[in-house]
């Protein structure tokens, strides 16, 4: 597959890129610092900011699937929302239709009354707000989207022993490694099980 990856230099995005290349996919990665993207014959780095339409359009142009591992710092712009609007506009003008975006548990239909959700909103309010707005923008478009809702991420190994599900309930103790998150992200890119759905993942 030809994958367009945003957030490729992040802690999760780097693992998604690594596993994509191991699987033999062709990757185009947008990066503000392209020198932080690995050199590989099947990887093309596009220099730029996700809020800049021209490099975003070049990134998605030939892709089959778009993957967003964008993230924002607690203080900083709502980059997931702002960036996603630019990505969606690029996809709408003759781009690919399949979109996989890393989001958070505790927003939209998963904003349950639970300790985990309450603590998440207490500690990460601006991050979760950004994700709610990002999700609203995605749902308003006509891409074939899947939102992935991880719990706390770890740098542990790939175990393949994770569970996923639309109804999967995450708790304060839920965890998944970035390696397993990346593996699930790439498997979601290859099938349509969770199209137009948010799916949680955890051990």
Interacting residues with ligand NAP (CB under 6 A):
7-13, 32-33, 49-51, 69-71, 79-80, 83, 102, 104, 127, 150, 152-153
Q: Which two tokens stand for residue 111?
A: 């904003």
Cα 123 to Cα 56, 70, 116, distances in angstroms:
31, 19, 11
Task: Rank residues 51 and 92 by Cβ distance to ligand NAP and give the closer one.
Answer: 51
Q: Report, in Å, the least distance between residue 50 CB and ligand NAP.
A: 4
Q: Report, in Å, the least distance between residue 32 CB and ligand NAP.
A: 4
Task: Rank residues 59 and 143 by Cβ distance to ligand NAP and give the closer one.
Answer: 59
Are residues 29 and 37 in contact, defined by beta-carbon separation less than 8 angstroms?
A: yes
Are residues 145 and 195 in contact, defined by beta-carbon separation less than 8 angstroms?
A: yes
In the three-class reduction of DSSP (H, G, I as helix; E, B as strand; rest coil), residue 142 is classed as: coil
Q: Report, in Å, the least distance between residue 31 CB and ligand NAP.
A: 6
Residue nearest to ligand NAP (CB): 10
Helices (H), the chain: 13-22, 53-60, 79-92, 115-140, 178-190
Q: Report, in Å, the least distance between residue 102 CB and ligand NAP.
A: 4
Task: Rank residues 65 and 181 by Cβ distance to ligand NAP and give the closer one.
Answer: 181
Cα 119 to Cα 57, 147, 163, 173, 178, distances in angstroms:
37, 21, 22, 12, 21
Task: Rank residues 29 and 65 by Cβ distance to ligand NAP and give the closer one.
Answer: 29
Task: Rank residues 32 and 169 by Cβ distance to ligand NAP and give the closer one.
Answer: 32
Q: Report, in Å, the least distance between residue 77 CB and ligand NAP.
A: 7
Q: Phi, psi (5° rounding) for residue 156?
A: -70, 175
Q: What whole-number distance in Å separates Cα of residue 64 and Cα of residue 60?
A: 8
Task: Rank residues 10 and 95 by Cβ distance to ligand NAP and give the closer one.
Answer: 10
Q: Report, in Å, the least distance between residue 125 CB and ligand NAP.
A: 13
DSSP, res 169: P
Q: Which two tokens stand for residue 34?
A: 């392209």
In the three-class reduction of DSSP (H, G, I as helix; E, B as strand; rest coil), residue 105 is classed as: coil
């Amino acid at each position: 597959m030809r994958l367009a990856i945003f957030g490729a230099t992040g802690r999760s995005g780097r693992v998604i890129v690594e596993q994509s290349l191991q699987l033999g996919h062709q990757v185009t990665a947008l990066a503000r610092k392209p020198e932080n993207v690995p050199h590989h014959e099947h990887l093309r780095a596009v220099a730029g900011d996700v809020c800049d339409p021209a490099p975003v359009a070049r990134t998605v142009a030939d892709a089959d699937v778009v993957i967003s591992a964008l993230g924002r710092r607690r203080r900083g712009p709502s980059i997931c929302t702002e960036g996603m609007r630019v990505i969606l506009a690029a996809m709408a003008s003759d781009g690919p239709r399949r979109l996989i975006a890393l989001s958070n548990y505790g927003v939209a239909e998963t904003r349950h009354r639970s300790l985990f959700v309450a603590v998440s909103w207490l500690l990460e309010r601006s991050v979760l707000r950004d994700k709610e707005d990002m999700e609203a923008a995605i749902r308003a478009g006509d891409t074939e989207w899947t939102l992935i809702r991880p719990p706390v991420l770890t740098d542990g190994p790939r175990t393949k022993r994770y569970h996923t599900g639309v109804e999967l309930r995450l708790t304060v103790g839920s965890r998944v490694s970035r390696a397993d998150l990346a593996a699930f992200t790439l498997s979601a890119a290859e099938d349509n099980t969770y199209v137009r759905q948010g799916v949680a993942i955890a051990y």
